[in-house]
Amino acid sequence: MNHLTDRIRAARKQAGLSQADIARALQISVSAVNQWEQGLIKNIKLRHFFALANLLGHDPQWLATGKTFPLTRQQALTSPLSDDPALTNEEKLLLHQLRRLDTTPRKMLIKFLRALDDTYIGSDQHAR
């Protein structure tokens, strides 16, 4: 994959997302995403580019150049362990939606999920 357009398309497909999914997540038009993949837009806004890389679960440096670069010492110290599984597409979409929430609804959702997890764990223990 020698071109940015190829990497965007391949990463989108690998993530199992449509152009409409990308557009909705980044709050842009579907035609803009299509133009990125067709190479009709040469300069993607940085905020969109980094959001796209994050949504697709790829390093922005790889998306931009096709090359991966060695981690800096700080990145290596803060990077997840290599044996951790990568996020699934569903988890990426959930994380993206969570990040879009304002502080209060985000805290409420996290509280709800914790309560749901406690309920599930409690019922699982009673079943034993």
Q: What is the CATH number of the domain that holds 53?
A: 1.10.260.40
50-93 per-position pLDDT tens digit: 999 989 988 888 889 988 765 555 554 455 544 445 777 788 88
Residue 16 lies in a domain: yes
Give yes or no: residues 9 and 42 share one domain.
yes
Alpha helices in 4-102 (DSSP H): 4-14, 19-26, 30-38, 46-56, 60-65, 73-78, 89-100
pLDDT of residue 104: 86
Q: pLDDT (tens digit, 9 = 90+) per residue, 12-35?
A: 998 889 999 999 999 999 999 999
Count of domains for the chain: 2
pTM for this one? 0.55
One domain for residues 8 and 57: yes
CB 24: neighbour CB atoms within 10 A? 14
| Mean pLDDT, range 41-55, rounded to an integer | 90
pLDDT at 76: 47
Q: Which domain range does residue 103 map to?
A: 89-127
Domain match, 107 and 63 both: no
Q: Does the pLDDT at position 110 exceed 50?
A: yes
Average pLDDT of the residues in 84-112: 80
User: What pLDDT does residue 82 have?
Assistant: 42
Domain assignment present for residue 78? The answer is no
Could you tell me how many residues make up the chain? 128
